[in-house]
Structure formats: C-alpha cells, structure tokens
Amino acid sequence: MGLLRNIFRRGKHVVRSICGQDVFYKIQVKCEKVRFGNDGASWCIHPDSLSDDSVIYSFGIGEDISFDLELIQTFNASVHAFDPTPRSIELIKNREVPEKFVLHEYGIANYDGKANVFPPQNPNHISHTIVDRGVHNRPAIEVQVHRLNTIMAMLGHKKIDLLKMDIEGMEYQVIEDFLTSGVQAEQMCVEFHHRWPEIGVHQTKRVIEKLNLAGFKIIDISPTGEEYTFKKFSQNHQVVNVSW
C-alpha cells in the first residue's frame, strides 16, 4: 500500500508541475539518507553528520512527533522542538516524552515579537498559519515568535546540525532571514506551501535558488513534492538545476 500510495503521489505531483501548479526539481546531490517518522510526518536526512552532541531544531511539531523521537532514539541527541500552538503544547504536556525532547512554546519568524496565526478551517486539524487564506472560520490567535539567530543566542548554540521547518507558509521569510543573518546550519528539512494560491510556485523557486547559491543542495524530495531536504556542500559539487 505504501509503494502504491507514493506512486500516486508522485504522479499527481508531476501532473501539477506540468500544469504550472507545482515545482519540479531533481535530486541535486546523491548521498546516504534515511527516513524517520510516520507516514505524513516523515523526513529524510543524511545521518553521517549527526551524533549525540548534535544541535537539532524542529519547528512545527503539530500532533505527530515520531520524527523527533526516532532522532533521539537513533542518535541519542537532544531535539529542541518549537510550537506556539496551544493544542500542540497541550498534547505534548499530556504525554510522556524523553528528557531529550525539549519543548519551547514559541514559534519562528523573520522578526522578534508577536504574530497573529490563523487556525485551520477544519477543526479536526491542528496547524495554524500566519498566512491569511480568507477561509478561516475562527479568529486568529496571538503567539510569541523569534528570529532563528535570536533563538540560537537564547539557547547558547553557535551552529545547527539539523533544522526542520514545517511552519505553514512562514518558511520563505524565515529562510531568507536565515541566509542573510550568518547562521551556520548543515542540514535543513522544509515543507514548502506553494500549493496555496496565496503563495504560489514562484516563491519556492526563488528560495530554492537562494539556498543553492548559499551551498545548500537538494538531497531528497518527498513523493508529494512538498517536503525537501537540503545539505550544505562545498561549491565544487555539481548541481542539476531542473525545474518546471
């Protein structure tokens, strides 16, 4: 079932790309990678650079922390998890988690301060977004957010070994701020939201181009074409720039 599901997802992604409703990239650098997490909440990473003293940031935990828990189990590393959503915070506080799963009750943005985030239209869903999609049937809530370099200073970290962001449309501003702020990171897992008409495919193409220029190469793309993993390589690696 998993294989057939992924074939369907890839086919849908290709069709959307041909119609100009999605972006299509190829893997830019092939390297060893492993997938952690449940279906629908999984990410591929390059394992060689991770160990028990790695700095791992996971932004946007929702209600499925299987990816984070597998990282802790495999590498014995601490995972700093960030989510300002009240329901996510409540779910974590009401379950037993390892000591190395460290929850921070604020989010990430390209500024320090407060942000209004909109709840999902479906009350059974959990993810809030800073993007006003005009379909929200409940009022926005105000949450605390910080820039990435502010968070690193608060936590006493000089670099990040793995940065995961599933932040519902805020990834574009955060990545651009990250690239101009001098933050050192080795790997980055990002869910892009170009499928939303309020964002569009041009945003993802632009930010991937900037990541490539900064040395971050695509090592994995999910079957849906929404989740990407980037790793920083030296500039002498050959990059295949193919997009629709």
Topology given in CATH for the domain delimited by 2-109+147-232: Rossmann fold (3.40.50)
Element (H, E) at 187: strand 184-191
Distance CA 223, CA 61 (A): 21
Residue 138 is classified by DSSP as S
SS3 232: strand
Helices first, then strands: H and E counts in the chain: 6, 12
Indicate whether this model's pTM tops 0.85: yes
Q: What is the pLDDT of residues 94-145, one digit of tens each?
A: 999 999 999 999 999 999 999 998 887 777 777 777 777 666 567 888 999 9
Q: 10 Å Cβ neighbour count for 7?
A: 11
pLDDT for res 234: 72
Distance CA 83, CA 161 (A): 19
Q: What is the pLDDT of residues 152-166, one digit of tens each?
A: 999 999 999 999 999
Distance CA 38, CA 131 (A): 26
